[in-house]
């Protein structure tokens, strides 16, 4: 029950963040540009870490397309995942439900 509420709060926080990013920044600003505004070194460091430790394929096929999407899309996606986790945990078999039938 507590995990359900935690995931619901996380989902709400990510939705508020996405709304703030969508209203305060240009609507089509890519994630790479937003990260670059904060600190350009982060992109270079992230690229080096992924290319050296994981694979070039991961960088080209997972990271680059994500960095080209609008900046508000990542928080919305994370909010959907957290919301889905909250709904899944709330509808587990052990949860209490009313067994009354409506007539």
Q: What per-residue confidence (pLDDT) applies to 99?
A: 65
Per-residue pLDDT band at 96 (split at 50, 70, 90): low
Whether the per-residue pLDDT at 84 is higher than 90: the answer is: yes
Q: What per-residue confidence (pLDDT) applies to 94?
A: 60
Q: Give the tens place of pLDDT for each residue, 24-79.
A: 999 889 999 999 888 889 988 988 998 899 888 888 999 899 999 999 999 999 99
Whether the per-residue pLDDT at 95 is higher than 70: the answer is: no
pTM for the complete prediction?
0.76
Q: What are phi and psi of 30, to 5 degrees?
A: -75, 160
Radius of gyration for the alpha carbons in the chain, expressed in angstroms and rounded? 19
| Mean local confidence (pLDDT), 91-98 | 64
Point out which residues pair with 70 in neighbouring strands. Answer: 30
What DSSP string describes 35-73? HHHH-HHHHHHHHHHIIIII-HHHIIIIIHHHHHSBTTH
């Amino acid at each position: 029950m507590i995990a359900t509420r935690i995931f619901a709060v996380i989902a709400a926080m990510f939705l508020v963040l996405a709304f703030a990013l969508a209203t305060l920044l240009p609507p089509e600003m890519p994630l790479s540009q937003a990260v670059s505004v904060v600190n350009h070194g982060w992109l270079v460091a992230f690229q080096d870490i992924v290319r050296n430790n994981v694979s070039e394929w991961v960088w080209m096929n997972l990271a680059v397309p994500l960095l080209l999407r609008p900046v508000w899309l990542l928080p919305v996606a994370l909010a959907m995942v957290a919301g889905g986790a909250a709904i899944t945990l709330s509808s587990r078999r052990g949860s209490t439900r009313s067994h009354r039938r409506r007539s």
